[in-house]
Structure 1
Amino acid sequence: MRQELIMGLTVSKLRSQVLINIPGKHYYFAIALHVQVLAKHLGIALNNCLIVRTSVLSLNVKKD
């Protein structure tokens, strides 16, 4: 498991799921689309969100 700290969010790749750890809350999503949707609700623009079977979650954050 690898974690990346992105704009205060801890994002982890857990097998086929993504864990986004927001202080006080936890979100689990299975596909990149849901990560995009969550990010939009949080006011974070992601210009790339890649989840590959054997790779680490890759998130590039685009600041407005």
Structure 2
Amino acid sequence: NHWLRSINTVLHRDCILTDKIKFGPLALKAKLVLKTWSGLLMDEDSLPDDWTHTEEVLVAIRPITGIG
């Protein structure tokens, strides 16, 4: 799914942008990224408190039912 891949790309980019070594004072605050994506991640309860440097974090999409 192209849309899901695009959203996951944005999530991955946000995580990369929290790197203070690479981006110094321009780095995003991890707390902002965590709050922005809260409630949208797959298996969020099993992730560490700060998952911004975790490899496999994906957006969870529930199937749409009852259309029509």
TM-score range (shorter-chain normalised) is 0.3 to 0.5
Higher share of residues assigned helix: 2
Greater strand fraction, Structure 1 or Structure 2: 1
| Bigger Rg, which one | 2
